[in-house]
Amino acid sequence: MEDTDVAIAAAAVVVLSCAKLLLENKKRKRRTRRWWMLSLNKSRGRYNGSDMLLDLRRESSGKFENFCRMSAEDFEYLLNKIGPKIKKQDTNMRQAIPVKDCLAVTLRFLASGDTFTSLGYLFKISHQSISRIVANVCEALIEVLKDEIRVRNM
């Protein structure tokens, strides 16, 4: 064999071994990364529960009352009463869920008895967050309205 034939054969071996390594690296699956929220819930910023509530309020057909089981005025009254107690602060990692959405999720849960998972699809909020939201909003409602609620003794 001549020197050029040896060099070509060596180059072919190197190219084939590099190609084999590249194929093996492509076949390896990367570990799936965990994110703060599902991509489904990331779109909450574009069209969120507050937008849905606003659309329902614009309808004159009583859709808002049917959805929240109360008038828009009563909703605003409750929102003003409990808003400061349940408001969360935005962080560098993510935006806080708006107070309007928290109240709407809780009212929808209390009115319909839907599961947290079902409400998560509706409001684009994780069911883990909804479980905390419902508990916090109910505590705030009890605290704020305790003077206005009368309990009948049995």
Read off the pLDDT of residues 17-62 as tens digits, 9 standing for 90 and up: 655 666 666 566 566 666 555 554 555 554 455 577 777 777 777 7
Grouping H, G, I as helix, E, B as strand and the rest as coil, residue 125 is coil
Q: What is the DSSP letter of 45?
A: G
- Written as six digits, the tokens of 90 are 């935005």
38 torsion bin: left (phi>0), alpha (psi -120 to 50), beta (else): beta
Is the pLDDT reported for residue 139 higher than 70? yes
Give the span between the Cα atoms of 110 and 108, in whole angstroms. Answer: 5
Domain boundaries along the sequence of the chain: 39-145
pLDDT of residue 58: 77
Is the pLDDT reported for residue 63 higher than 70? yes
